[in-house]
Amino acid sequence: MSEITKRRLRLGMVGGGEGAFIGEVHRFAARLDDHYELVAGALSSQHDKAERSAKALGMARSYVDFEAMAQQESEREDGIEVVSIVTPNHLHAPVAMAFLKKGIHVICDKPLTATLAEAKTLSQVAEESQAQFLLTHNYSAYPMVREARAMVKEGKLGNIRSIQVEYAQDWLTHSLEQTGNKQAVWRSDPAQAGLAGCVGDIGSHAYQLACFVANTQAKEVLADLSSWGEGRQLDDEANILLRFENGAKGHLWASQVAPGNENALTLRIYGDQAGIEWHQETPNELMYSVLGEPSQRLRRGNGYLSDAAASVSRIPSGHPEGYLEAFANLYCEFAEQLLTATTNPHLPTLATGLHGMRFIAASVYSSQNNGLWVPIGH
């Protein structure tokens, strides 16, 4: 990572109390490069749990109500400068708006909101705020993903024709939500997860990754969504055909019911000159195949890579960097952006999230109508 002034940003967190998954991940990410100091949080809406969680983290100030937190932190001289939102989806919008209105920068987990309507409202609020917004599409911060994006931009694939992207898991094969599993419960509850299940939770990641690397967006989608889990209200699998603005076509498969898959996010992009292939579970490699030549295995940390990869890489090649390092890259780059008043074009923004919500909404609508081509819109 490039050197930046060693001033730590004061960070708050909403959500992420005891038993949470993604909150812990955000904290690892914030800590790794030492650009943040976690000083305040509304880790839970239950008072005792919030207190216990804050104590366990050695956090200075604990809140129960995020509105109160936004208010009070904005009034303190040593109040937080950035807040991380790691709640279920339905709270993203209200929490983000509360802090944006107080001029506090927001780091928000994906998908942006539970509904497209919320996303639009949030966008308006954000436009009126001076504060900045980071959406944690963490997979786009892996070094070899950055390399892939750079390669596409430099024309190393030729004209992009075909994109195959998939994100497969298996943890919802059975209806885990009926056992009380916290992660499963909220993700399969429309009131908390929003209009989509699997498409929102991981399909949105796959879609953002494809767009990020291929440097384009879908103009229309055609989706076939399924709900395999017994009694499950939201989708747990999706096959989505894609037509992109740059003329490419593709397919996105997202599944949470595919036994043997853990976090099998895979991206393949083919142009008229070359193709690339990347797998999240072995993220330090990128296969690059020029037509008629031996495939090349590009690996993180090597001198032959571009700055795009090098700038988000910490250790020598062959020493694997993983999920937390990629997640930390977003935190690191956002800190750099805030501290140096520059704009990093690789960071997912609120606009990214709004487009992502359009993708989700269009996919759901297409599937509800037995597979129409639905424009994503602007």
From residue 164 to residue 203, what is the string marking binding to a second copy with x (rule CB under 8 A)? x-x--xx--xx-----------------------------
Residue nearer to a second copy on the CB measure, 41 or 123: 41
The footprint of a second copy on this chain (CB under 8 A) covers a number of residues equal to 90
Q: Is 161 in the site for a second copy (CB under 8 A)?
A: yes
Cβ nearer to a second copy, comparing 34 with 154:
34
What angle, 0 to 180 degrees and rounded to 10, lies between the N-to-C axes of helices 204-214 and 143-153?
A: 40
Of the pair 88, 275, the CB lying nearest a second copy is at 275
Task: Please give the full DSSP string across 39-80, using - where no structure is assigned.
Answer: EEEE--SSHHHHHHHHHHTT-SEE-S-HHHHHHHHHHSTT--
Rank residues 317 and 337 by Cβ distance to a second copy and give the closer one.
Answer: 317
Residues 33-92 that bind a second copy (CB under 8 A): 34, 55-58
From residue 96, alpha-carbon distances to 89, 102, 231, 370 in Å are: 11, 10, 32, 35
Mask for 303-342, x = binds a second copy (CB under 8 A): xx---------xxxxxxxxxxxx-----------------
**Can you tell me which of 124, 282, 340, 342 binds a second copy, judged by CB under 8 A?**
282
For 154, other C-beta atoms within 10 Å of its C-beta total 10
CB of 120 to a second copy, least distance (A): 28
For residue 111, whether the previous peptide bond is cis, meaning omega lies within 30 degrees of 0, is: yes
Taking CB under 8 A as the criterion, which residues in 220-279 touch a second copy?
A: 222, 224, 226, 228, 237, 239, 241, 243, 249-251, 253, 255, 257-264, 268, 270-277
Which residue type, as a one-letter code, is found at position 296? Q
Q: C-alpha angle 10/6/322, rounded to 5°?
A: 80
Please tell me what DSSP assigns to residue 247.
Answer: S
Q: Which is nearer to a second copy, 65 or 285 (CB)?
A: 285
Strand partners, 133: 106
Q: Is 204 in the site for a second copy (CB under 8 A)?
A: no
Among candidate residues 153, 157, 250, the one with its CA nearest the CA of residue 206: 250
Instruction: Dihedral sign for Cα 362, 363, 369, 374, please.
Output: positive
Q: Which stretch binds a second copy (CB under 8 A): 24-32, 42-50, 98-106, 339-347?
A: 24-32
Q: What region, left, alpha or beta, does residue 155 occupy, with left being phi > 0 and alpha being psi -120 to 50 degrees? A: left
Q: Could you say whether residue 288 binds a second copy (CB under 8 A)?
A: yes
Report in angstroms how near the CB of residue 31 gets to a second copy at its nearest.
Answer: 6
Give one DSSP letter per residue of 312-329, joined into a string.
T--S-TTS---HHHHHHH
Closest CB to a second copy among residues 70, 276: 276
Minimum CB distance to a second copy smaller for 95 or for 274: 274
